Amino acid sequence: MLHKGADNEAGQLARSIGGQLESLWVFLEENGVEPTNNHYERALRFGVLWRKRSLGAQSDKGSRWVEIILSFKETCRLLSQPTFPMLAKMIKTYFANSMPDLSWI
The whole-angstrom separation of Cα 4 and Cα 73 is 44
The whole-angstrom separation of Cα 94 and Cα 79 is 22
The pLDDT tens digits for 51-99 are 888 887 788 898 888 888 888 888 888 889 898 998 898 889 989 988 8
Query: Would you tell me the crossing angle of helices 60-78 and 83-95 to the nearest 10 degrees?
Result: 120
Residue 96's pLDDT is: 92
Report the predicted TM-score, pTM, of the whole model to 2 decimal places: 0.55
